[in-house]
Amino acid sequence: MPLSLATLEALQSEYMADDVPFDFTKMSVWTEDQVARFFESGGAVEPGAASHLDTPARTPLGRKPRIAVLHGTASNEAIVKIQLGKLWSVLRELGDVFVVEGDFVVDEDNPLTAEMRKFFGSSHVLKEYGRPTMDSRRWRTYDGLDESFERLEHALEERGGADVLIGFSQGANFTSLLCASAAQAGAADFGCHQPVRAAVLLAPACPGWVKQKPDLFATPLTTPALVGYSDSDMQVITPAGCGPDETARLFSSSSVQIVKHGGPGHRPLPKDPDELARLIEAIRNLITAECPQS
């Protein structure tokens, strides 16, 4: 039975979210738990998304989880650590965290090169995992994707595999590919103790790469995942589609949660302290639920 306006307003009041606007038509078909989660998060968390809140308890790892971080285009290990800031500190508390750098050096005439050098200085060697292109819909694709992806898989295997993947921008795009590949290949081929237990995809693009690797995405991904993005990020929200929402649809609705924030712009984490705290807490909860140590 649809929820009444009075019920929604009562929940809004209960969670002290009077300043959080809501869409009655959309939210009236949600469950009370989903509405409560929405108001409790300040409007940041919407269903598509039960994730760790509704899945059975995981088998303990018996060790700290291995957390692999993938950076964006024209970036590297040093830059992504700066970009993640407080989240990087939290990840180090939660597990053994490391960055897998891209295998390709970004061309100096790439428009992103000048932009990244403006913020992070001229001394960095800027990397990427694949050479970005676009399909006829203007969705993100990659030139030579098979080779690029194989190189990334090999680099991850050399590092001993991962239980958790966290990617920003291009790193988030390739994270979806790694989740799909790990689920199909199994633990032995992926170099992990088991397929990926959790994934965090921050500001992914519209997934044109799905049509390049359709065998990997024949069925929805069941990896517990969090997709985070800014509603002011015009690099991934374009007339061609909303990249984060489209990427979230690659996962089953029971395994993915979407966290929106104010950004501003194309960045892995929000500036606002309250929004930042909410997003970091959601990531912490996902990892601790999916990767219990004992």
Cα separations in angstroms, 245 against 87, 106, 185, 204: 22, 27, 26, 9
Neighbouring C-beta atoms of residue 214, cutoff 10 Å: 9
Over the stretch 207-262, which tens digit does the pLDDT of each residue have? Answer: 999 999 999 999 999 999 999 999 999 999 999 999 999 999 999 988 999 999 99
What 158-161 contacts at long range (C-beta under 8 Å, 24+ apart), as own/partner pairs, is 159/68, 159/98, 159/100, 160/66, 160/191, 161/66, 161/190, 161/191, 161/192, 161/193
pLDDT of 33 reads 72
Over the stretch 50-109, which tens digit does the pLDDT of each residue have? Answer: 434 444 457 888 899 999 999 999 999 999 999 999 999 999 999 999 999 999 999 888
49 band by pLDDT with thresholds 50, 70 and 90: very low
2 band by pLDDT with thresholds 50, 70 and 90: low
pLDDT of 112 reads 85
pTM above 0.85, yes or no: no
283 band by pLDDT with thresholds 50, 70 and 90: very high
Tokens of 130: 């694949």
Average pLDDT for the chain: 88
Taking the C-alpha atoms of residue 139 and residue 145, their distance in angstroms, rounded to an integer, is: 14
Share of the chain above pLDDT 90, in %: 64
194 band by pLDDT with thresholds 50, 70 and 90: low
User: Is pLDDT of 41 > 90?
Assistant: no
Domains in the chain with CATH codes: 44-290 (3.40.50.1820)
Over the stretch 161-172, which tens digit does the pLDDT of each residue have? Answer: 999 999 999 999
DSSP 197: -
Over the stretch 267-280, which tens digit does the pLDDT of each residue have? Answer: 999 999 999 999 99
